[in-house]
Each structure stands twice: as C-alpha cells, then as structure tokens.
C-alpha cells in the first residue's frame, strides 16, 4: 500500500479543501515538507496568510525581509493545513485550530472538546532550514524533528564546537574522522539527532543540555530488503544515553535519520509505543509527503527524495 | 529624549562596574529612568534587578556578530530588542553566535545561560556580567 502511494499524485485546485489523511498508526510518523522555492504564487501566499491567527500574522510580518517572512508564513500554514487533514471530528478548518505552548514552551494543539469526546492524541513538531519546512505527526507518541541543509556552513571550527557542546563520546567520534567533508556531514547528522531528541522531550533545552546525553550510532549492519509490500531499511541502530541518569528510560526513544531531496538531513525522534518490550527492535514506520498545501501533495516515501541513512525504518 | 538618555548613560556606566560592591547604586542602572524617585515607586522587572543594562558599545558588538552569523544584509536593523529567532536564527545559529561572543569577549557562557538568551540585549547583559566577574 505504501509503495503504491508513491505513484499517486493528487492534484487539487487552490479552491478545494485539503486531501484528508488517516491518523498515523502506532510507531508511525507522517512527515510533511514544503520547499519554499516552489511556492511563488502571491495569491497562494495570501491564501495561507488568511489561515493565520492575528498574533501569527503579526509575528510573520515582524520578520525582517521577504524571505524570512515567507518562511515564517509557510511554517504556520504547513502546521495548520497538515493538522487539519486529519479530520478527526469531521471537517476541520485550518483557520480554526488553536495552539498553545506547554509549560516548557513546546507548541501543542488545543482541541475543542465537543460533548466530552476523547481528545485526539495527535502530536506534531516542526522544523525548518532556509530551503525546507517540515512537520512530523504521530498519534499517541511524543515527537521531535530537525532538518538541516547538508551543506550548511559552520562558522566555528567543528571540533571546537563539539568540545564546547557535545558529549565526550561524540567528540571522540568526530575527532576520529580525518576527511573534513565527512566530518562536517557527521557533525550535521549528530546535531539533527540531538535537536530532534530535545524537541521530542518537549522540556526545553535546559532540561537536556547537549553535553548531558550521547547519541550512539551502531553501524554493524547496513541492509535493506523488501518485506511484503514494505521496504525495511536497517541503516544503523541509533540510541540515546543520558549521562546524568543512566537508568532513565532513554531506551523508550526511537530515531530515524533521512537524507531528503539530496540536500537535507532530517532526524526524527519518537517515543516508542508503551506496549513494546524494552530491548525489542521495532522499526519507525514512515510515510513522507512533499506538499504545497491546497495545490499538490506527493507521497515521496520509497522514492529517491527520501533516503533512510540511520536507524531502523520501514517505508 | 536621545540627549537625556545620552547624559544618563555616562552616569550609568561607572556605577554599573561597581554594582557588586555598592549595591545601592544598582538603582542608577535602569534604562529609561527619568528620576530616581520614580524608580522607587515603580515595580522593577526581574531581569533588571539582577543585571545592569550593558554599554551601548557591547550591544553594538553583539549586533555585528549576530549580523555576520546570520548573514543579514547591511540594511537590516538589529537593535538590543531584536530577538534572535525573529531575525531568522535557528538553534544552531544561536549556539554559534554564543561561541562567537565567547571568542570576541574572552568569556565562557554556561549552556543554561546560553539558552536563556533571547534578545541581543540579553546577550550583551550576560557578556558584561561575565566580563565583570572575570576582572573582579
């Protein structure tokens, strides 16, 4: 089913509603991304602006310069339209969604409860680089994502940066890489994984300063194979170890690392389903869409646009 | 207004350096104060209670480092009130900016403090506090 969706392109006219999507199943992440360079139509941007709350509009317009404003606008439009697709209690107007921040500042949806219905456990997290905006969605599982351009320039010396902010194990790993380009790539990958973890925790940076946890990547095996209709990638095993509290349930977090459209690394960190026994290896199920909300959705998992490079991933 | 602020800055800076030793002079360090009497009856924001407002030169240096890190065009206006996030900085930019500031001012910023920096002014204030601690 998932492989077949790659060949499905649903084109909607700008005036039509968003194509609805089923909620992700347990251990599944839905990953939506938009490429700002592909959104040029002024009328479309105005349509997105019309979805925003007054405060969001103000924030967008307060950004210095057109590019930053466009990026901020697309970020809010992506979040609102993406969540609205999940049509949990009937048709949802993206405009009507309300957001709040939890006590640590992590954005959440405020679900309007009708007749005391069970609140949907939809979790989301957003990230953007200058050329991509992404939104990850799960049901019943905390999620954090981070996207970075592969070629992103680091102004400081990478090892100096790592010594300053990363854990000992990570510094050793980066120091062992002699090729500066590979070192740069591994640095960016590590950064995205660490960011995704902290964002998934949702407790703010100070709850898990980067130096207090280590991301371990075990690459004893690298294989992919087809299992029924799914593609299973065992790129590596990624685990997080908390240095302050080794007994803490860091084994309850699952990671996936992707290369997107040849230009970005994307890290996804999600909470394992409670039903999964400790130590059991379960893949992250992933469905990814490239979208221009109201215009075009293209399912890209299983294409070259989304290449798993870390973790255990099922497409 | 600018002239009044200018004259009060020079009064502010010197007491600021001795703030640790002469606690009563902390009242002089609040910006936008027209008279000392008005300070006593107005509630003071927590941030201003614990740190003095940084020198304009420090704020300017921070602005320059921020503009360089974020590759902002020269016309972009960056002031003390500018929020890093609102300038298009993401978390990696913020951390890089802090590293740049550490190098420029020869200080060391705790990770927790680095994360609480939201504006250029926050950064400048923290820098001055750390520079002061060093020289004390």
CATH number, domain at A58?
3.90.470.20
Residue positions of B annotated with a catalytic role: 90
A65 and B116 in contact by Cβ < 8 A? no
- B69, B95, B112: residue with CB nearest A206: B112
- A164 CB within 8 Å of a chain B CB: yes
Looking at A10-14, A145-149, A192-196, B111-115, which range is the least confident one?
Answer: A10-14
Residue ranges making up the domain that contains A174: 36-89+96-113+121-314
pTM of the model: 0.81
Identify the pLDDT of residue A20.
87
The 10 Å Cβ neighbour count of residue A100 is: 9
Q: How many Å lie between the alpha carbon of B76 and the closest alpha carbon of chain A?
A: 7
Q: Where does the pLDDT of residue A111 fall: very low under 50, low under 70, confident under 90, or very high at 90 and above?
A: confident
Question: Hey, is the C-beta of B15 within 8 angstroms of any chain A C-beta?
Answer: no
Considering only CB atoms, B76 lies closest to which of A65, A164, A165, namely: A65
pLDDT score of A194 more than 80: yes
Set of chain B residues whose Cβ sits within 8 Å of the Cβ of A191:
92
Q: Comparing B7 with A134, which gets the higher pLDDT?
A: A134
Chain B residue nearest residue A61, CA to CA: B86
CB contact under 8 A, A156 and B116: no
Residue A10 lies in a domain: no
The pLDDT of residue B116 is above 80: no
pLDDT > 70 fraction of chain A, expressed in percent and rounded: 85
pLDDT tens-digit series, residues A246-276: 665 567 899 999 999 999 999 999 998 877 7
Q: Does B106 touch chain A (CB under 8 A)?
A: no
Within a domain: A165: yes
Residues of A in contact with B88 (CB under 8 A): 63-65, 68, 71, 130
Nearest CA in chain B to A210: B111
**What is the predicted pLDDT for the residue at B3?**
40
On chain B, the residues whose CB falls within 8 A of the CB of A128 are 90
Taking CB atoms and an 8 Å cut-off, how many pairs form between chains A and B? Answer: 53
Would an 8 Å CB–CB cutoff place A140 in contact with chain B? Answer: no
A9 within a domain of the structure (yes/no): no
* A127 falls within a domain: yes
pLDDT at A8 over 60: no
Given an 8 Å threshold on Cβ–Cβ distance, is A156 in contact with B111? no
Number of domains, chain A:
1
Q: Does residue A22 lie in a domain region? A: no
B67, B76 Cβ separation under 8 angstroms = yes
**Exposure string over A242-275, b if 16+ CB within 10 A, otherwise e:** beeeeeeebebbbbbbbbbbeebbbbbbbbbbee
Q: Do A209 and B115 touch (CB under 8 A)?
A: yes
* B93: contact with A, CB 8 A cutoff: no
- Burial pattern A167-200, b for ≥16 Cβ within 10 A else e, equals beebbebbeebeeeeebbbbbbbbbbbbbbbbbb
Q: What digits encode the pLDDT tens for the residues B52-85?
A: 578 889 999 999 999 988 888 888 889 888 988 8
**B contacts of A206 (beta carbons < 8 Å):** 111-112, 115-116
CB atoms within 10 A of CB A239: 15
Is the sign of the CA dihedral A162, A164, A170, A171 positive or negative? Answer: positive
Residue A5 forms part of a structural domain:
no
Which residue among B76, B96, B115 places its CB closest to the CB of A206? B115
Q: How far is B88 from chain A (nearest CA, A)?
A: 6
CA gap A50, A73 in Å, rounded:
10
Q: Is A252 an interface residue toward B (CB < 8 Å)?
A: no
What burial class does residue A93 get, using C-beta atoms within 10 Å of its C-beta: 0-12 exposed, 13-18 middle, 19+ buried?
A: exposed
Average pLDDT, chain A: 86
Instruction: For residue A188, give the chain B residue with the closest CA.
Output: B92
CB A239 within 8 A of CB A246: no
* A66 shares contact with chain B (CB less than 8 Å): no
A294 contacts A264 by C-beta, under 8 angstroms:
no
Query: Could A64 and B88 be called an inter-chain contact, meaning their C-beta atoms sit closer than 8 Å?
Result: yes
Assess B67–A contact: CB distance below 8 Å, yes or no.
no
B64 shares contact with chain A (CB less than 8 Å): no
pLDDT confidence bin for A127, thresholds 50/70/90: very high
Which backbone phi and psi does B44 adopt, to 5 degrees?
Answer: -100, 130
B7 in A contact zone (CB under 8 Å): no
What does residue A144 show for φ and ψ, rounded to 5 degrees? Answer: -135, 140
Q: Are B12 and B28 within 8 A, CB to CB?
A: yes
Percent of chain A with pLDDT over 90: 55
A14 pLDDT exceeds 80?
no
Give pLDDT, residue A220: 65
pLDDT score of B118 more than 70: yes
């Amino acid at each position: 089913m998932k492989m077949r969706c790659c060949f499905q392109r649903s084109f909607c006219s700008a005036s039509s509603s968003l194509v609805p999507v089923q909620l992700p199943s347990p251990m599944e992440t839905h990953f939506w991304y938009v490429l700002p360079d592909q959104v040029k139509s002024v009328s479309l941007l105005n349509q997105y602006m019309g979805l925003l709350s007054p405060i969001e509009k103000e924030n967008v317009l307060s950004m210095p310069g057109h590019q930053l404003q466009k990026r901020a606008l697309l970020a809010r439009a992506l979040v609102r339209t993406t969540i609205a697709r999940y049509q949990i209690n009937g048709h949802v107007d993206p405009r009507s969604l309300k957001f709040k921040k939890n006590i640590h500042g992590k954005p959440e949806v405020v679900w309007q409860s009708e007749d005391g219905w069970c609140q949907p456990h939809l979790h989301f997290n957003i990230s953007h680089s200058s050329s991509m905006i992404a939104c990850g969605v799960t049901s019943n599982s905390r999620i954090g994502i981070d996207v970075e351009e592969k070629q992103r320039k680091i102004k400081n010396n990478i090892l100096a940066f790592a010594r300053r902010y990363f854990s000992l194990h990570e510094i050793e790993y980066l120091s062992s890489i002699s090729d500066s380009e590979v070192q740069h790539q591994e640095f960016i990958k590590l950064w995205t994984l660490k960011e995704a973890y902290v964002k998934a925790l949702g407790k703010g940076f100070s709850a898990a300063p980067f130096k207090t946890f280590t991301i371990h990547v075990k690459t004893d095996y690298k294989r992919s194979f087809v299992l029924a209709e799914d593609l299973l990638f065992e790129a590596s095993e990624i685990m997080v170890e908390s240095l302050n509290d080794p007994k803490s349930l860091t084994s309850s977090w699952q990671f996936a690392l992707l290369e997107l459209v040849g230009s970005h690394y994307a890290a996804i960190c999600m909470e394992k389903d409670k039903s999964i026994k400790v130590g059991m290896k379960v893949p992250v199920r992933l469905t990814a869409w490239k979208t221009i909300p109201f215009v075009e959705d293209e399912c890209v998992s299983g294409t070259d646009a989304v290449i798993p490079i870390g973790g255990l991933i099922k497409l | 207004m600018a002239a009044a602020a200018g004259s009060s800055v020079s009064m502010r800076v010197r007491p600021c350096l001795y703030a640790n030793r002469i606690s009563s002079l902390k009242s002089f360090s609040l910006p936008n104060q027209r008279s000392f009497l008005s300070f006593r009856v107005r509630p003071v924001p927590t941030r201003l209670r614990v740190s003095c407002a940084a020198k304009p030169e420090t704020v300017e240096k921070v602005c320059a480092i921020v503009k360089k890190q974020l590759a902002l065009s020269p016309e972009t206006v960056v002031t003390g009130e500018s929020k890093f996030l609102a300038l298009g900085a993401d978390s990696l930019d913020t951390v890089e900016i802090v590293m740049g500031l550490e190098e420029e001012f020869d200080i060391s910023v705790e990770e927790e403090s680095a994360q609480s920096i939201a504006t250029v002014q926050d950064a400048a204030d923290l820098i001055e506090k750390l520079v002061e601690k060093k020289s004390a």
